[in-house]
Amino acid sequence: MGYEFIEFEKEDKGVGILSINRPQALNALNWDTLKDLGNFIENDFPNENLRVLIITGSGGKAFVAGADIAQMSEMNDAQFKEYTNYAHKIYNLIEHSPCPSIAAVNGYALGGGCELALACDLRIASEKAKLGFPEVKLGIFPGWGGSQRATRIMGNGKAKELIYTGEMISAEEALRIGLVERVVPHDVIMEEAMKLAGLIADRAPLAVSAAKKAINKGSEMDLDKALGLEKDLIFSCFDTDDRIEGMKAFLEKRDPEFEGK
Ligand code: COA
């Protein structure tokens, strides 16, 4: 793989851990780091055959402290567009991947870092994490998907409060407003993320992927169309070996063995 700014390890049950690894800058996504993340997501992620991808940050202090402000300050309009378009493309690939993803938010998740967490399916935060969108302090606003994904996740009011003020919030507050799903002690965040990933990895992978698609795509449609999509997806799930195995295992009072077929 040969990446400088990310690390990837595959654990048991097909759970992958991708760490953004630029701790000297609190894992801020400069071009090289974003490219490493993007190359992994575009080229390796689809071939790793993962059941769950966990994304986290190296160094113990930050998940990702955002886009790289020093680099951005030197960019012209065309370069900023290229940087932003690329971030959009990669975050969309994470969001729409059939593989579910968990952001293990182990510290600062700011700006583009919070937006990366929002592109994941689930967010688990350390009690030391700080989250927010400081962009308006820099003369921009969350433009790597944040103004759209934040509103869909926590509602317009809370998203506007966070985005307009640029203030950071604690993990507990993030939990209260639905920006994260769980808060855990700092020292055990990876253990807890692995437990959550392990639970998902034990389930029928095609069913989890279908549920992801139904929820992600369906929430963008009117209810009639969304219910139609749900039916198409449940019919395709019913037609899988895993469905036969899951129901058979229940009736035989044993754990199912899912193969993703
Ligand atoms: N872009 C570029 N460099 C960043 C960065 C970012 N988004 N966030 C942190 N860094 C760098 C700092 O410049 C510093 O580098 P230096 O040691 O060469 O000076 C290093 O990371 C450590 O950060 P520092 O600010 O010294 O740590 P701190 O604990 O005092 O503060 C933060 C932590 C997260 C509050 C602070 O770094 C911060 O506000 N970062 C910017 C967050 C932001 O606005 N993100 C959105 C960008 S769109």
Mind listing the pLDDT tens digit for each residue in 110-138? 999 999 999 999 999 999 999 999 999 99
Identify the residue whose tokens are 């058979």: 248
Tell me: pLDDT of 19 over 90.
Answer: yes
pLDDT at 204: 98
Q: What is the mean pLDDT of the chain?
A: 97
What DSSP string runs through 167-200? --EEHHHHHHTTS-SEEE-GGGHHHHHHHHHHHH
For the CA of 111, the closest atom of ligand 1 is 46
Q: Give the whole-angstrom CA distance, residue 208 versus residue 204.
A: 6
Largest interatomic CA distance in the chain: 64
| Strand ranges of the sheet holding 122-126, from the earlier edge strand across to the other edge | 6-10, 15-20, 52-57, 101-105, 122-126, 182-184
Q: Give the whole-angstrom CA distance, residue 106 versus residue 127.
A: 8
Closest CA to 119 of 49, 29, 247, 184: 29
pLDDT digits (tens, 9 = 90+) for 37-92: 999 999 999 999 999 999 999 999 999 999 999 999 999 999 999 999 999 999 99
Tell me: pLDDT of 226 over 80.
Answer: yes
Catalytic residue positions, numbered: 115, 135
Tell me: pLDDT of 8 over 90.
Answer: yes
Q: Give the whole-angstrom CA distance, residue 95 versus residue 168.
A: 24
29 within ligand 1 shell (Cβ under 6 A): no
Cα of 64 vs centre of ligand 1, distance in Å, is: 10
Residue nearest to ligand 1 atom 30, measured at CA: 26
Tell me: pLDDT of 1 over 80.
Answer: no
pTM: 0.97
Q: Give the whole-angstrom CA distance, residue 167 versus residue 131.
A: 9
Q: What one-letter code names the amino acid at 83?
A: Y
Provide the b/e sequence for 155-194 (b: ≥16 CB within 10 Å).
eeebbeebbeebebbbbebbbebebbebbbeeeebbebbb
To test ligand 1's pocket by mutation, which of 5, 21, 26, 170 has the most ligand atoms within 8 angstroms of CB? Answer: 26
Residue nearest to ligand 1 atom 45, measured at CA: 66
What are the residue ranges of helices labelled H in 65-218?
69-74, 77-96, 112-119, 146-154, 156-165, 171-176, 189-202, 205-218
pLDDT digits (tens, 9 = 90+) for 153-206: 999 999 999 999 999 999 999 999 999 999 999 999 999 999 999 999 999 999
